[in-house]
Protein backbone atom coordinates (compact mmCIF):
# COMPACT_ATOMS: atom_id res chain seq x y z
CA UNK A 1 0.00 0.00 0.00
CA UNK A 2 2.75 2.45 1.00
CA UNK A 3 4.78 1.65 -2.13
CA UNK A 4 1.74 2.09 -4.37
CA UNK A 5 1.08 5.50 -2.80
CA UNK A 6 4.69 6.60 -3.34
CA UNK A 7 4.59 5.36 -6.95
CA UNK A 8 1.37 7.30 -7.58
CA UNK A 9 2.79 10.48 -6.08
CA UNK A 10 6.00 10.19 -8.11
CA UNK A 11 4.09 9.76 -11.37
CA UNK A 12 2.04 12.90 -10.73
CA UNK A 13 5.11 15.08 -10.24
CA UNK A 14 6.61 15.52 -13.70
CA UNK A 15 8.33 18.64 -14.97
CA UNK A 16 9.91 19.54 -18.25
CA UNK A 17 13.51 18.19 -18.23
CA UNK A 18 15.00 21.54 -19.29
CA UNK A 19 13.52 23.31 -16.23
CA UNK A 20 14.15 20.55 -13.71
CA UNK A 21 17.63 20.84 -12.19
CA UNK A 22 17.26 17.75 -10.02
CA UNK A 23 19.76 14.98 -10.52
CA UNK A 24 18.25 12.52 -8.03
CA UNK A 25 14.77 11.06 -7.83
CA UNK A 26 12.74 12.55 -5.00
CA UNK A 27 10.43 10.72 -2.63
CA UNK A 28 7.18 12.54 -1.89
CA UNK A 29 6.63 12.22 1.82
CA UNK A 30 5.39 14.15 4.84
CA UNK A 31 7.32 14.31 8.11
CA UNK A 32 8.50 16.98 10.56
CA UNK A 33 11.70 18.96 10.56
CA UNK A 34 13.26 21.83 12.47
CA UNK A 35 15.63 24.38 10.95
CA UNK A 36 17.86 27.13 12.27
CA UNK A 37 19.97 29.82 10.65
CA UNK A 38 21.28 33.35 11.05
CA UNK A 39 19.86 36.02 8.76
CA UNK A 40 21.73 38.99 7.21
CA UNK A 41 21.47 40.93 10.49
CA UNK A 42 22.92 37.97 12.44
CA UNK A 43 19.54 37.31 14.07
CA UNK A 44 18.61 33.71 14.80
CA UNK A 45 15.86 32.12 12.73
CA UNK A 46 14.31 28.99 14.21
CA UNK A 47 11.49 27.28 12.40
CA UNK A 48 9.71 24.00 12.00
CA UNK A 49 7.52 22.48 9.38
CA UNK A 50 7.09 19.52 7.06
CA UNK A 51 9.32 17.88 4.48
CA UNK A 52 7.28 17.59 1.27
CA UNK A 53 9.82 15.69 -0.82
CA UNK A 54 13.32 14.38 -0.27
CA UNK A 55 16.36 13.16 -2.21
CA UNK A 56 20.03 12.47 -1.43
CA UNK A 57 20.88 16.05 -2.36
CA UNK A 58 17.92 18.13 -1.26
CA UNK A 59 14.41 18.56 0.01
CA UNK A 60 11.34 20.77 -0.24
CA UNK A 61 9.98 22.26 2.97
CA UNK A 62 6.75 23.89 4.13
CA UNK A 63 7.87 25.88 7.14
CA UNK A 64 6.44 28.30 9.68
CA UNK A 65 9.21 30.88 9.09
CA UNK A 66 9.91 32.46 5.69
CA UNK A 67 13.53 32.27 4.53
CA UNK A 68 15.48 33.83 1.66
CA UNK A 69 17.37 32.11 -1.15
CA UNK A 70 21.05 31.64 -0.35
CA UNK A 71 20.53 31.32 3.41
CA UNK A 72 22.61 28.56 5.01
CA UNK A 73 20.92 26.55 7.73
CA UNK A 74 21.09 23.50 9.96
CA UNK A 75 18.32 20.89 9.75
CA UNK A 76 16.89 18.21 12.02
CA UNK A 77 14.79 15.73 10.02
CA UNK A 78 12.35 13.60 12.02
CA UNK A 79 12.28 10.60 9.68
CA UNK A 80 9.34 8.27 10.30
CA UNK A 81 11.68 5.50 11.50
CA UNK A 82 11.25 6.22 15.22
CA UNK A 83 14.92 7.09 15.74
CA UNK A 84 16.58 10.36 16.77
CA UNK A 85 16.36 13.18 14.23
CA UNK A 86 18.68 13.01 11.24
CA UNK A 87 21.14 15.92 11.51
CA UNK A 88 22.14 17.98 8.46
CA UNK A 89 25.08 20.16 9.47
CA UNK A 90 24.81 22.56 6.54
CA UNK A 91 22.17 23.18 3.89
CA UNK A 92 21.48 26.10 1.55
CA UNK A 93 18.11 27.52 0.49
CA UNK A 94 17.99 27.16 -3.31
CA UNK A 95 14.61 28.86 -3.81
CA UNK A 96 11.87 30.34 -1.67
CA UNK A 97 8.17 31.19 -2.16
CA UNK A 98 6.66 32.43 1.08
CA UNK A 99 6.81 29.64 3.64
CA UNK A 100 7.74 26.97 1.07
CA UNK A 101 11.36 26.55 0.02
CA UNK A 102 13.85 24.15 -1.51
CA UNK A 103 17.05 23.20 0.25
CA UNK A 104 20.31 21.76 -1.09
CA UNK A 105 22.13 19.51 1.39
CA UNK A 106 25.75 20.65 1.66
CA UNK A 107 27.28 18.82 4.63
CA UNK A 108 26.39 15.76 6.74
CA UNK A 109 28.51 13.24 8.59
CA UNK A 110 28.97 9.82 6.99
CA UNK A 111 26.65 8.00 9.39
CA UNK A 112 23.80 10.44 8.79
CA UNK A 113 24.39 10.34 5.02
CA UNK A 114 24.19 6.54 5.06
CA UNK A 115 21.01 6.67 7.13
CA UNK A 116 19.44 9.03 4.59
CA UNK A 117 20.47 6.79 1.67
CA UNK A 118 19.00 3.73 3.40
CA UNK A 119 15.75 5.55 4.14
CA UNK A 120 15.44 6.69 0.52
CA UNK A 121 16.29 3.29 -0.96
CA UNK A 122 13.71 1.65 1.32
CA UNK A 123 11.02 4.06 0.13
CA UNK A 124 11.95 3.99 -3.58
CA UNK A 125 11.52 0.24 -4.01
CA UNK A 126 8.59 -0.55 -6.29
What CATH topology corresponds to 2-124? Thrombin, subunit H (2.40.10)
Q: What is the rounded CA–CA span in Å between residue 79 and residue 34? A: 12
- For the chain, give every domain's residue range: 2-124
Average pLDDT of span 24-50: 89
SS (H, E, C) 6-33: HHHHHHHCCCCCCCCCCCCCCEEEEEEE
Q: What is the rounded CA–CA span in Å between residue 96 and residue 22? A: 16
Pairing of strands 100-107, 27-38: unpaired
* pLDDT 10s digits, 44-75: 999 999 999 999 999 999 999 999 999 999 99
Amino acid sequence: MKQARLRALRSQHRTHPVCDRRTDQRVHIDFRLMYSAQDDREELIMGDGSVVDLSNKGLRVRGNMAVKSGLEMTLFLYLPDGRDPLFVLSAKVAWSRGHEFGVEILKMNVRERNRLRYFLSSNLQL
